[in-house]
Amino acid sequence: MSSCRPASARFADIAKLDAILKTSKPFWSARRADQILARAREFVGQHCRDRSQGELLALALQGLPPQLLEMGFPAPFMALPLLVYAAVRNEEKPAFPLAVATTLLYLGVDILDDLADGDLPAHWKGRKESEINCGLQISDCGF
């Protein structure tokens, strides 16, 4: 994993989500969400431009677990790639990279919406909107 992944990439919300995911009724989707989030954190750590961008991307991912808890499982942007691939090929493992991509796409669109509406979640406190917008540009991330 790249050295640009910040030490702050371990969040209390992620630990809380992990605990909830393991006891959640829709176990299939909860378990997959946990795996997709882990792969997304790994992808961000490997593809960030520098430490500063790595911290912004890790912070962006920090906001996703609370959203998943609010929207409930399964989150379509996570589950659909796995379910469709499994329906066609009778296995889901090869579809995980696509599920990570759709999750990061959803996250990016959600952040852009929050920036446009002016309703950034609390975990962005202390960050300028211009910093968030510039730091999360897909073209700069190498995605």
Tell me, yes or no, whether 2 lies in a domain: no
pTM: 0.74
How many residues make up the chain in this entry? 143
3-class secondary-structure state, position 127: coil
Tell me, yes or no, whether 132 lies in a domain: yes
Number of domains in the chain: 1
**Dihedral sign from CA coordinates of 53, 47, 143, 123:** negative
What does the pLDDT look like over 8-60, one tens digit per residue?
A: 444 455 566 566 555 554 666 778 888 999 999 999 888 888 888 888 888 88
What does the pLDDT look like over 100-133, one tens digit per residue?
A: 999 999 988 888 888 888 888 888 888 888 878 8
- Residue 81: pLDDT band (50, 70, 90) is very high
Tell me, yes or no, whether 13 lies in a domain: yes
Q: Are 46 and 2 in contact (CB under 8 A)?
A: yes
Tell me, yes or no, whether 93 lies in a domain: yes
Phi, psi of 74 (to 5 degrees): -85, 145
Enclosing domain of residue 29: 7-141
